[in-house]
Amino acid sequence: MESIWVYSSLLLSVIIGGVMVTKLEATNKTQTIKLLLAFSGGFLLSIAFLHFIPDLYADESASIGMYILLGFLIQLILEFFSGGIEHGHVHVHKGQKLPWGLFISLSVHSILEGIPLGNQLTGHEILASDHHHHNDDSLLLGILFHQLPVSIALMTLLINTSIGKSKAWLVLILFGLMTPLGVFMGAMEIPGIDSLDFHMILAVVVGMFLHISTTIIFETSENHKFNLLKLISIFVGCALAIFIN
């Protein structure tokens, strides 16, 4: 992966989400966003099971499962403050103040998922078996596919706060810089931190992916019945993950 492409694509996905809200009048409640979420949920779940979990257990001891569980629980805590915006769930009230707790929780999530991506940019594989049969872009794609609907939900909330549209864009772009910041941190050569530490961070991120994806899939139902288009979106996400695996 080219570092410029990684940094620019991560920021661009967030900007596109903002443009869809301000110019195309998309919101977190539109059918398009629900389909994007369903697609990203299927993709994230699939790359977790098909790619990262098997390789994490192959490269590390069974104790790596503790870090996957930790990531699941961390995401649970983060969503307590974010209100579930990671899966497009946000309550908008006209003129409300900027919810900094939500922004901080989203930022922590974004930085964490960027760290293992940054480790790939150093030229060192996160997982020893990556170069045998896996596409290195799966983590980047998973983040991009999920960032788009999240940025739409966030911008929907921001433009309804009391800060105004111009400041809403500043906050959105600041959010868009969080994952690149995590990538930069992961790409740094820090004395005393070896690849094992990045394995643990990746396991935490996988646990976060599992929480987000399963929540998206279960919340993609209406009256406990799956809408056909949403079901198709989930399977398309799963199929793409299988194809690039």
pLDDT tens digits, the chain, 245 residues: what are they? 578 889 999 999 999 999 988 887 666 556 778 888 899 999 999 999 999 999 888 876 778 899 999 999 999 999 888 888 877 666 666 767 778 888 999 999 999 999 999 888 876 555 655 444 444 689 999 999 999 989 988 998 888 888 888 899 999 999 999 999 999 988 886 655 555 577 888 999 999 999 999 988 887 555 555 588 888 999 999 999 999 87
Residue corresponding to tokens 């999240």:
150
Helix (H, G, I), strand (E, B) or coil at 225: strand
In a domain, 225, yes or no: yes
Encoded tokens for 46: 């699939």
- Domain for residue 179, yes or no? yes
Number of domains within the chain: 1
Task: Say if 27 falls within a structural domain.
Answer: no
Nearest 5°: the CA angle 42, 50, 112 is 75
Does any domain span residue 28? no
How far is 245 from 239, CA to CA, in rounded Å? Answer: 10
Residue 166 tokens, joined? 């111009």
The answer to whether residue 79 is domain-embedded is: yes
Domain containing residue 68: 3-22+33-244
* Residue 34 pLDDT: 82
32, 171 contact by CB (below 8 A):
no
Q: What is the pLDDT of residue 180?
A: 95
